Amino acid sequence: MKKTVVIGFLGTQLDYAGKGSGRWDKWRPSVALCQQEDLLVHRLELIHDARNRGFAERLGSDIARVSPDTVFQRQEMALRDPWDFEEVYTALHDFARNYTFDTEHEDYLIHITTGTHVAQICWFLLTETHYLPARLLQTSPPRKKETGNSAGSYEIIDLDLSRYDRIAQRFARERDDGLSFLKSGIATRNPAFNRMIEEIERVAGRSRAPMLLIGPTGAGKSFLARRIFELKRQRQQLAGRFIEINCATLRGDSAMSTLFGHSKGAFTGAQQERPGLLRAADSGLLFLDEIGELGLDEQAMLLKAIEEKRFFPFGSDQEASSDFQLIAGTHRDLRQWTQQGKFREDLYARINLWTFDLPGLSERREDIEPNLDYELQRFAAEYGQQVRFNVEARRRYLAFATSADARWRGNFRELGASLTRLATLAADGRITENDVTAEIARLNAAWAKAAETDACARILGPAADQLDRFDRCQLNEVIAICRNSPSLSTAGRRLFAVSRAEKKQNNDADRLRKYLARFNLDFAALRQEAAA
C-alpha cells in the first residue's frame, strides 16, 4: 500500500496559534489534515521562508501531538514577495524539478488551502501540466452544525477530467461544435479530411504559432482561414480583425507598402502615410494567401515581423509593431522552392510548424453530396430563395459530379459556381433533369476549352502548378506551335525567326529540342497527340 505524502505552504494566518503552542480552540488547516479519520498522512512537507522558521517548528510539534505517526519535514524556500506570480511559479517549478518523487511507493497530495492565491494558482498549473505527479487536496473547517468535529473535512481534487463525466461530456460537445463550425456544418465523409480538421481545431485552441495551408486553387484555403479566425474569436483568443491578401497580386514597392505600410514621400506618389496590412491585423489574424509569390525582400521583413512583432514601414526609420497571428496559404511546394532559392529557408522553417495539406475535390469525391446541400443552403440564405433538386435530377448530377469525367480543376469553388448556376436558372425553385443536362454540357465545354488553351496543365498535370505564370504561358505557346507544325525544324523556325536572323544561327531544331527536354516533353509525342 502506498504511503500518503502531503506538500503545502505554512499558513501564516490560518495555522497561527499564538505565541505559545497548544491552542486547540481554533481550526488550523495544516493540523486538521493530520486529524482526518480516513486520511492517514505518512509525511507532511511544509514550505516556509526563513522568517517563519520558528513558527514552522512549533507547528511541527503540534502535529506530532495529534498524529504521532506523521513525519513532519520543513522545506525552507526564499520568497521575497509571495504575491509575485513569476517569483512564486519559478520557485515552485524549481522545487518540483529537484524533488525526488517515488510514485511507485508514495501517493502525493498538494495542500492548496494554505498559502496565497498566487501560490494556489501555481500549484494548480504545475499539477495540471504534470510537473507535479500529484492530486490537489483542499481542507475545510467544520460547519457550525457539526459537533465533536474539530478537524473539519477534506476533498481530493483529481484533475483527470475523464473521471468527471458531465464535465467531460461538455468538453466533448464543445469540441464537436468546434469541428462542425470549421466545416460550416458540412457532414464531410472523407476520413483524412476529418482527421485534419480535428487537428486544426486542437491547434487553433492551443497555439498562436503560424499555420500553413497547402492545397490547389479552390480547395478552400481562404474559407478555412476565415473559419479558424471566427473560432478563435468565439473563444476570446483574438480581439482584432481578419485581414486577407493574395500575395500573387503584390509586386515591387507596392508589396512593401501594402504589407508593411510606408511613410509619406517614401516613393513617387506616396503623398501620405499608409499603415499597411500587418498593423491592420494587430490583435487579429493575417491570412497571406499564395505566400510563395512574395519577393525575397518581403519575406525577410515578414520573418522579422513574425518573430519580433516589429518591422520598419517602407521608407521609414521608425519601427512599427503589430501582434498578429498568421495563417499562410500556397499551392506551391515550398520545400522545393527553398532548394531553388525562391523562398527563404528560415521563413519556411518558421511557418512550417503546423502544416495542413487540403485535398482537392478529386480526392474528396465522397464529399460532393454534402457540399451540394451546403451550397444550396448558402444560395437560399444569400438570395432568399429555397431551391431543390428533383429526385432524378439530383441522381444524375451526383453521378456526373463524382465520376472520372468531372475534372473539377477549380475544386470546391468550381462546384459552388456550378450549383449557383443551377439554382439561379431553376424554374419555380426546382432543378430538373433538363437543367442538369444543360449544366453538364456547359461544364464539359468549359473544361474542353481550358484543356485546349492550357495544354501545359493537360500534359504536365499537377507539375504545371509548380511553374511560374510566365513559364506556363510561354510553354503553352510552344506546345501549340509544335502541335501544328509538320516537323521539329519547322516549329523551330517559327519560334526563333528573329533571333536566327540577328545571330545568323540555324540550330532552331536543337534549341527547341533542348527547351522541350527541360519539361520532359518530346516533339513527336506532341504531334501524335495532336493527330489523335
State the Cα–Cα distance between residues 496 and 504, nearest whole angstrom. 11
My answer on whether 244 and 341 are in the same domain is yes
Give the long-range contacts of residues 85-93, CB within 8 A, separation 24 or more: 85/118, 85/121, 85/122, 88/116, 88/118, 88/119, 88/122, 89/122, 89/125, 89/126, 92/119, 92/122, 92/123, 92/126, 93/126, 93/131
Nearest residue to 47 (alpha-carbon basis) of 98, 105, 2, 107: 98
Which set of grid coordinates corresponds to residue 378? 448558402
Instruction: Report the pLDDT value the prediction gives residue 494, as an integer from 0 to 100.
Output: 86
Instruction: Report the pLDDT value the prediction gives residue 146, as an integer from 0 to 100.
Output: 61
Q: Residue 404: is its pLDDT beyond 70?
A: yes
Q: Per the domain annotation, does 430 fall within a domain?
A: yes
Instruction: Report the pLDDT value the prediction gives residue 130, as an integer from 0 to 100.
Output: 83
My answer on whether 199 and 303 are in the same domain is yes
Per-residue confidence at 37, pLDDT binned at 50, 70, 90? confident
CA 531 to chain centre: 50
| Least confident piece of the model among 36-40, 285-289, 414-418 | 36-40
* DSSP letter for each residue of 64-82: HHH-TTPEEEEEE---S-T
Per-residue confidence at 443, pLDDT binned at 50, 70, 90? very high
Q: Per the domain annotation, does 164 fall within a domain?
A: no
* Percent of the chain predicted with pLDDT > 90: 55
Decide if 357 contacts 214 (C-beta within 8 A). yes
CATH classification of the domain holding 247? 3.40.50.300
Element (H, E) at 243: strand 242-246
Decide if 376 contacts 388 (C-beta within 8 A). yes
Decide if 178 contacts 373 (C-beta within 8 A). no
State the Cα–Cα distance between residues 418 and 372, nearest whole angstrom. 10
State the Cα–Cα distance between residues 131 and 72, nearest whole angstrom. 23
My answer on whether 346 and 197 are in the same domain is yes
State the Cα–Cα distance between residues 341 and 351, nearest whole angstrom. 17
Burial bucket for residue 173 (CB in 10 Å: 0-12, 13-18, 19+):
exposed
My answer on whether 334 and 405 are in the same domain is no
Instruction: Report the pLDDT value the prediction gives residue 501, as an integer from 0 to 100.
Output: 67
Query: How many domains in the chain?
Result: 4
Instruction: Report the pLDDT value the prediction gives residue 21, as an integer from 0 to 100.
Output: 47
* Percent of the chain predicted with pLDDT > 70: 91
Q: Residue 463: is its pLDDT beyond 80?
A: no
My answer on whether 228 and 246 are in the same domain is yes
Mean pLDDT of the chain: 88
Instruction: Report the pLDDT value the prediction gives residue 375, as an integer from 0 to 100.
Output: 93
My answer on whether 275 and 137 are in the same domain is no
Which set of grid coordinates corresponds to residue 48? 516556509
My answer on whether 95 and 221 are in the same domain is no
Q: Per the domain annotation, does 422 fall within a domain?
A: yes
CATH classification of the domain holding 373? 1.10.8.60
Per-residue confidence at 144, pLDDT binned at 50, 70, 90? confident
* pLDDT mean over 416-429: 94
pLDDT tens across 478-518, in order?
Answer: 888 888 888 888 888 888 888 776 666 668 888 899 999 88
Q: Per the domain annotation, does 510 fall within a domain?
A: yes
Decide if 106 contacts 3 (C-beta within 8 A). yes
Q: Per the domain annotation, does 79 fall within a domain?
A: yes
Range of the domain at 513: 457-531
Which region, left, alpha or beta, applies to residue 387 given φ > 0 means left and ψ of -120 to 50 means alpha?
beta
Q: Identify the three-state secondary structure at position 235.
A: coil
Higher pLDDT, 352 or 262: 352
Instruction: Report the pLDDT value the prediction gives residue 167, as an integer from 0 to 100.
Output: 61
| Least confident piece of the model among 265-269, 384-388, 396-400, 476-480 | 265-269
Instruction: Report the pLDDT value the prediction gives residue 165, as an integer from 0 to 100.
Output: 64
| Least confident piece of the model among 183-187, 346-350, 352-356 | 183-187
* pLDDT mean over 178-182: 88
pLDDT tens across 15-31, in order?
Answer: 887 655 455 568 899 99
**Of 138, 159, 180, which residue sits at a domain end?**
159
My answer on whether 391 and 511 are in the same domain is no
Instruction: Report the pLDDT value the prediction gives residue 112, as an integer from 0 to 100.
Output: 93
Instruction: Report the pLDDT value the prediction gives residue 111, as an integer from 0 to 100.
Output: 94
pTM, two decimals, is: 0.65
Q: Give the 3-state secondary structure of 205-224.
A: HHCCCCEEEECCCCCCHHHH
**Of 453, 474, 498, which residue sits at a domain end?**
453
My answer on whether 222 and 331 are in the same domain is yes
Which set of grid coordinates corresponds to residue 303? 520573418
Exposure b/e, 52-83, CB count within 10 A at least 16 = b: beebbebbbebbeeebeebebebeebebeebe
pLDDT tens across 216-275, in order?
Answer: 889 999 999 999 999 999 988 999 999 999 999 987 767 888 899 877 766 666 667 788
Which set of grid coordinates corresponds to residue 432? 430538373
Q: Per the domain annotation, does 152 fall within a domain?
A: yes
Residue with cell 509544335: 482
**Of 427, 453, 479, which residue sits at a domain end?**
453
Q: Per the domain annotation, does 204 fall within a domain?
A: yes
Residue with cell 483529481: 158
CATH classification of the domain holding 78? 3.40.50.10770
My answer on whether 276 and 347 are in the same domain is yes
Nearest residue to 29 (alpha-carbon basis) of 120, 130, 145, 128: 120
* pLDDT mean over 388-414: 93
| Least confident piece of the model among 5-9, 46-50, 91-95, 261-265 | 261-265
My answer on whether 402 and 503 are in the same domain is no
Q: Per the domain annotation, does 165 fall within a domain?
A: no
Element (H, E) at 387: none
My answer on whether 144 and 201 are in the same domain is no
Instruction: Report the pLDDT value the prediction gives residue 318, as an integer from 0 to 100.
Output: 87
